[in-house]
Chains A and B, each alone.
Chain A
Amino acid sequence: MLLPKFDYHAPASLEETCALLREFGPRAKLLAGGTDLLVNMKKKALAPEQVVSLDRVPGLDQVLTDKNRVTLGAGCRASRLAESRAVKKNLHLLAQAAGNLGSPLIRNRATLGGNLVTARPASDLAPPLMALDARVVLTSADGERQVPLDEFFLGPGQTLIRPEEVLTSVVIPRPKPGSGGGYFKLGLRRTLEIALVNAAAFITLDPGGRKIETARVVLGAVAPRPIRSAAAEKILAGAAPSAKILTQAARAAAGDARAITDHRGSAEYRRQMVEVLTRRALQAAWAEAGA
């Protein structure tokens, strides 16, 4: 399968990158892991005139932890996110999700930024990051802005990012003690699957451990973009954690799903799986939070 023709740039700095994007605008596409862009170019779904590689731009793959936040460079590979001690310790559900993305070969290339910017409804990294209340940092020649990830996705392949911007990092508030998360993905095989349905949950218990202080439930692949389940979160907020409450919340989450029927599965099955996966994600989150 052949790639179409394009002009290639490998800027050595973020400034240079932004200058190129300002110049080319929508005629350019950024190349990071290539596992989505090059696939789509081979399939003739995309044919950008200019390809701007981020390979030489330094500082995009850092994992920084401080008292209040964890900052992940957008260039972090999925394999790094899955194996990093800092990520596994502080953002366990993200490490879990990253470890389930594609295959080991894909994980060695796919990047955090790429997975977010390509905005696939079944993205593996978006639901856990939304559950963690992440914000994306978008950089251009004009400066930097931060957008909550909840608001970032508009639809399949569509985000708030502007043509002249680079998604440079993701900022996650450091989970408080008494927090836990879970991520579950449903596919046919045990690996190399695009999720039929996926779900992420993150809860923080109050200092006494008897009430759910905050809860975020994110559903993937059942809407044009990953969505928070307001109905589930409403049931959880302030409630005493119990198997019953988690089950109720999961049932409510199924109601928030806007699944479609396609060749991979029916809307009804997906809806039912939202309930199952959400419950399992919540149970994992509760177990981690209580531990």
Chain B
Amino acid sequence: MKKHPVSFTLNGQTVELLTAPNRTLLQVLREDLGLTGTKHGCGLGDCGACTVLLDDEPVNSCLILAVQVHGREVTTIEGLADGDRLHPLQEAFIQKGAIQCGFCTPGMLLSAKALLDRKKRPGEEEIRRALSGNLCRCTGYQKIVEAVEDAAKTMRTKKGAAS
């Protein structure tokens, strides 16, 4: 089984590696690149714990071959914060108690980010729908939805305010 070169942008940096084609993006992120923030929950696209952004769209990284991201942009949870400045979603999740065991959190945050990057003022139903591929067993989703609403408000205010 021949290995393939893959060159892609990961959290803003170029990454080049050689990989067997039967390795998923999830495996390569976690095992080859040491980025364990993206989680393995089921391996079959049923739970969303492995969510990453592929060219800004949230996808299950367990169902993408690493070779498929050649030339693309991947954002993982490790790329959400800006250096040591947490993203407003991360701040909101922390403040609102949207994190319990934390295992769904990376995927949940990225799905939420994709939503807020597209929609400034999502309604509750829209938020739930955007997160509907990310399962959570701990929170009942209540505080997650509240956190996303909060972050949306913060992000609108920040943009509107003069620097």
A residues within 8 Å of B by Cβ? 1-8, 10, 31, 33-35, 38-39, 42-43, 51, 53, 55, 79, 102-106, 108-109, 190-192
Give Cα A53 to B24, complex, Å: 14
Give Cα A39 to B60, complex, Å: 12
Residue B59 at the chain A interface, CB threshold 8 Å: yes
Q: How many B residues face the partner with a CB closer than 8 A?
A: 32
Give Cα A43 to B129, complex, Å: 28
Inside 8 A of B2's CB, which chain A residues have their CB? 7-8
Inside 8 A of A105's CB, which chain B residues have their CB? 45, 48, 51, 58-60, 111, 133-134
Give Cα A260 to B45, complex, Å: 27
Inside 8 A of A39's CB, which chain B residues have their CB? 44-45, 63
Inside 8 A of A34's CB, which chain B residues have their CB? 63-65, 68
Inside 8 A of B134's CB, which chain A residues have their CB? 105
Inside 8 A of A2's CB, which chain B residues have their CB? 22
Give Cα A105 to B23, complex, Å: 19
Please tell me which one of the listed residues B4, B57, B133 contacts residue A103 in the complex, with CB atoms under 8 A apart: B133
A6 in contact with B21 (CB, 8 Å): yes
Please tell me which one of the listed residues A10, A35, A190 contacts residue B63 in the complex, with CB atoms under 8 A apart: A35
Nearest Cβ in chain A — how far from B16, in angstroms? Answer: 17
A-B contact pairs, 8 of them (CB 8 A): A2-B22, A10-B70, A39-B63, A55-B68, A103-B48, A106-B45, A191-B129, A192-B46
Inside 8 A of A6's CB, which chain B residues have their CB? 1, 21-22
Residue B43 at the chain A interface, CB threshold 8 Å: yes
Nearest Cβ in chain A — how far from B70, in angstroms? Answer: 8
Give Cα A106 to B59, complex, Å: 7
Inside 8 A of B133's CB, which chain A residues have their CB? 102-106, 191-192
Residue B152 at the chain A interface, CB threshold 8 Å: no
Give Cα A5 to B2, complex, Å: 10
B58 in contact with A108 (CB, 8 Å): yes
Contacts A53-B68, A104-B111, A104-B130; is A109 near B60 (CB within 8 Å)? yes
Residue B132 at the chain A interface, CB threshold 8 Å: yes
A109 in contact with B63 (CB, 8 Å): yes
**Shortest 8 CB-CB contacts between residues of A and residues of B:** A103-B133, A8-B21, A1-B43, A105-B133, A3-B22, A191-B132, A5-B1, A108-B57
Residue B67 at the chain A interface, CB threshold 8 Å: yes
Inside 8 A of B22's CB, which chain A residues have their CB? 2-6, 8
Give Cα A260 to B87, complex, Å: 50
In chain B, residues 49-89, which have Cβ atoms closer than 8 Å to a Cβ of chain A? Answer: 51, 54, 57-60, 62-65, 67-68, 70
In chain B, residues 82-136, which have Cβ atoms closer than 8 Å to a Cβ of chain A? Answer: 111, 129-130, 132-134
B45 in contact with A8 (CB, 8 Å): no
Inside 8 A of B21's CB, which chain A residues have their CB? 6-8, 51
Inside 8 A of A109's CB, which chain B residues have their CB? 59-60, 63-64
Nearest Cβ in chain B — how far from A259, in angstroms? Answer: 25
Inside 8 A of A190's CB, which chain B residues have their CB? 132
Give Cα A7 to B67, complex, Å: 12
Nearest Cβ in chain A — how far from B10, in angstroms? Answer: 18
Inside 8 A of A53's CB, which chain B residues have their CB? 65, 67-68
A109 closest partner in B (C-beta)? B59
Inside 8 A of A79's CB, which chain B residues have their CB? 57
Nearest Cβ in chain B — how far from A77, in angstroms? Answer: 9
- Further pairs besides A6-B22, A192-B132: 7, Cβ < 8 Å: A5-B20, A8-B2, A8-B65, A31-B68, A33-B63, A51-B21, A105-B60
Inside 8 A of A7's CB, which chain B residues have their CB? 1-2, 21
Nearest Cβ in chain B — how far from A158, in angstroms? Answer: 23
A9 closest partner in B (C-beta)? B21
